[in-house]
Structure 1
Amino acid sequence: MTNTPDTAFGFAYHGNPLERLSEYRGDAEWMAGHRSNPQARFVFFCEGKPLVGTDSGPLSVLWQEQAGAVFAPIEKEETILLGFQPDTRAPVFAAALAADPVRIEAGGRKLIDIRSLALQGVLPPPQLGMLAQASALLHWHTSHRFCSRCGAPSVMALGGYRRDCPACGGQHFPRTDPVAIMLVTDGDACLMGRPPRLPEGVFSTLAGFIEPGETIEEAVRREVFEESGIRVGAVSYMASQPWPFPASLMIGCHGTALSRDITMDAAELEACRWFSRDEVTAMLADAHPQGLKVPPPLSIAHWLIRRWAEGQG
């Protein structure tokens, strides 16, 4: 099946074009054939940062296997199949490099974190999507080397989408942590807050992890009430964004407020207030009289805020 990326949203890590063909991952012969394909390309990570080519032309994160093998052998057993490029049908793999970062960053190569790459807009959106997939999976494998049932070393299986325990037979699968992120509005006003991690003067949508046994709508209402004391009625889904820090899915929602009186949770937020549409428009244009801002365009939070400010929902 062709994976047609939806790139209309504009935020980062969205629009991964790779065709995953997940139904074939259990076929060892099929996997081995693609692993030895001379057209195969790799994304390499070292200490959580992808290897980026900077020596000539546009930046790229797609390499031949030899580019990583010069630093250390690429272990076939620890190589993840990300998917297939829709135009060339060439497989794309991900692997971690166990090498000195200083040695790697020579000859037109750099290790650049994926947040900086998104902020700078120096990579095509499809490559950012591939990096988000690779980063999340490689992080999971690094932090799940041992079976959580018996503690024995586990091994990669299904092209990187499972780890098996030879000792007890346990099977373990990669995690994606769902996060509800929501813009709550009441007429021509929207609710935004300032968690301590944001740069000075930046206000954003509220957000929180969805808990077990909870719907998206319930998570939106709970998180907003816990952080701001605002009751939310109708909740609608807007869009979603992979967020590889380390492996979340941001589920963007709109909520309609049932109250306006804020009771802020000071343990979660430094500030929380209502903003008029005109005020938000000024923030988007970097023209707010107090210098207040919204998050950068790489995030779905920015998209939710801009969409509402422009009267689209």
Structure 2
Amino acid sequence: MDRADQVRVNPEKLREAIMRPNARLLKLDGLNPVFDNQGDLAWGAAYEASPDNDLLLLGVDGDTPCFAELNGGGNSGPASDPRLWQALGALSPDQAAVYATARSLVDWHARHKFCAQCGKPTSSRKGGWARQCDKDDGGCGAEHFPRTDPVAIMLSECEGKVLLGRQPMFPHKRFSALAGFIEPGESIEGGVKRELWEEAGIKVRDVQYVASQPWPFPSSLMMACTSITDDPKLTLDEEEIEEAHWFSLDEVKASMNGDPDAPFIAPPPFAIAYNLLVHWLDGQDS
């Protein structure tokens, strides 16, 4: 989908896009997706949107403008709801990206109704891709843009085994790659090294970037990396990590295959942690 920045920033083009007979509106239940009978994202007509709500221009699909309603966010329930993960797992990558964009932006608008600079109310601008503090209402005129929080998600290898952990909120036996936010003034590599030291007590080297994935809970960019450590001794941050273990090649293969006797339950296939494990397995077999 073309995100159509040239339409976002042009009020006349934006109005024209909204008024097109084929303009579509992504259906949302608060922040949660709504599905059609085929299990795909459900769409309606743009004119079905409430006149009290602004519209977010998601982009243009061919010649079809696609919008979401800035509905205030609503009560989406916990992001750990297994029903949400099951639903997301059935979406194609393209549809998942559309939903991630909509969820992140709708949530951002709901949480940024007031100016961080002067405290006055803000309103949607640029097709939902900015908010502005209105000088006519006594505000400072500052523009505010959606933010994306960078997160490192990483594996560490030692003597042919890979480190995985589980948080207290995870289902029983669910293990995944460790992760943490990149801090201001920090590189991706520095964030990986710091997080693995803080959460697992290991010193790592040879940090390698693998891939990235948007993660709209609420608005993160997951940056997947691998690393190596020479000392497997773990010292866990028990407030963050309930347990962590080194898993062998055969154990990871069994878990990824869903074997009933596998030592852990693998991350869901739509999560980048799953693809990070696939990448690690491919490297072991090559």
Normalising by structure 2, we get a TM-score of 0.88
* 1:161-184 deviation line (CA, Å, top 9, x unaligned): 110001111111101111000111
Change over 3 Å in CA distance of 1:205–1:169 after alignment to 2: same
- 1:159 maps to 127
Change over 3 Å in CA distance of 1:90–1:219 after alignment to 2: same
Change over 3 Å in CA distance of 1:50–1:203 after alignment to 2: closer
Change over 3 Å in CA distance of 1:49–1:139 after alignment to 2: same
- 1:11 maps to none
**1:80 to 2:80 alignment:** no
**1:27 to 2:6 alignment:** no
User: Alignment identity in percent?
Assistant: 39
- 2:109 maps to 141
Q: Alpha-carbon deviation of 1:289?
A: 3.5
- 2:67 maps to 93
> What is the distance in 1 between the residues matched to 2:25 and 2:185?
38
* 1:76-104 deviation line (CA, Å, top 9, x unaligned): xx11111111xx32111111457999xxx
**1:237 to 2:209 alignment:** yes
- 2:235 maps to 263
2:133 and 2:143 in contact (8 A); partners too: yes
Question: 43, 46, 51: which is aligned to 1:65?
Answer: 46
- 1:210 maps to 182
* 1:152-205 deviation line (CA, Å, top 9, x unaligned): 110111111110001111111101111000111124111111111111111111
Q: Alpha-carbon deviation of 1:50?
A: 2.7
SS across alignment from 1:63: strand
1:118 partner amino acid: L
1:84 partner amino acid: V
> What is the distance in 1 between the residues matched to 2:178 and 2:168?
13
2:73 and 2:110 in contact (8 A); partners too: no
> What is the distance in 2 between the residues matched to 1:134 and 1:158?
15
- 1:12 maps to none
RMSD of aligned Cα (Å): 2.3
Normalising by structure 1, we get a TM-score of 0.81
Which deviates the most, 221-230 or 40-49? 40-49
1:44 and 1:97 in contact (8 A); partners too: no
1:117 partner amino acid: A
2:249 partner amino acid: R
SS across alignment from 2:172: coil
**Gaps spanning 5+ residues in structure 1: where?**
1-17, 102-111
SS across alignment from 1:53: coil
* 1:101-123 deviation line (CA, Å, top 9, x unaligned): 9xxxxxxxxxx97534213x1x3
> What is the distance in 2 between the residues matched to 1:99 and 1:172?
18
Change over 3 Å in CA distance of 1:198–1:303 after alignment to 2: same
> What is the distance in 1 between the residues matched to 2:72 and 2:146?
22
> What is the distance in 1 between the residues matched to 2:143 and 2:201?
42
SS across alignment from 1:203: coil
2:88 partner amino acid: A
* 1:118-143 deviation line (CA, Å, top 9, x unaligned): 13x1x333222101100000000011
Equivalenced residues, count: 275
> What is the distance in 2 between the residues matched to 1:287 and 1:125?
26
- 1:126 maps to 94
Q: Alpha-carbon deviation of 1:308?
A: 1.2
Stretches (4+) displaced over 4 A = 97-101
Q: Alpha-carbon deviation of 1:310?
A: 3.4
After TM superposition, list the pairs within 5 Å mapping 1:159-238 onto structure 2: 159-166=127-134, 167-238=139-210
Change over 3 Å in CA distance of 1:81–1:197 after alignment to 2: same
> What is the distance in 2 between the residues matched to 1:287 and 1:27?
54
SS across alignment from 1:311: helix
**Gaps spanning 5+ residues in structure 2: where?**
76-81
Question: 256, 279, 292: which is aligned to 2:264?
Answer: 292
> What is the distance in 2 between the residues matched to 1:260 and 1:221?
15
2:174 and 2:264 in contact (8 A); partners too: yes
